[in-house]
Structure 1
Amino acid sequence: MAALDPPQRQPRSAAVRWGVGSNRLTRIAVGAVLPLLILLAWQFWAPHFFTSFQLPSPAKVVEGANTYIFGPRDGGQYSGTFVIDLWASLKRVAGGFLVGALIGVPVGLAVGFSRTAAALLEPMIGLLRSVPGICWLPLALIWFGFGTPSAVFLISLGSFFPIALSTIQGVRFIEPNLIRAARTLGASTLQAVRTVALPASIPSVLNGLRLGLAYSWIYMILGEFTGVNEGLGASLLLARESLRPDIIISLMVLIGLLGVLSDAPVQWLLRRVFRTDVR
Structure 2
Amino acid sequence: MLRTPAARILDEADEPAVQRLLAADPVGACVIAGRVEVAGTAPVSLGAPLWGVGDGDRLDAVCLAGANLIPFAAPGAERAAAVAFAERARRAGRRCSTIVGPSAVVGPLWELLAPAWGPCRDHRPRQPLMAIDGPPAVAPEPRVRPVSPDQLEVLLPAAVAMFTEEVGVSPLRIDGGAGYRARVDELVRAGQSLAWIEDGRVLFKAEIGAVSRGACQVQGVWVAPALRGRGIGTACTAAVVEYARAVIAPVVSLYVNDYNTRARTAYRRVGFREVGEFASVLF
Could you tell me the TM-score, scaled by structure 2's length?
A: 0.23
Identify, as 1 or 2, the structure richer in helix. Answer: 1
Task: Tell me which structure has the larger Cα radius of gyration.
Answer: 1
Identify, as 1 or 2, the structure richer in strand. Answer: 2
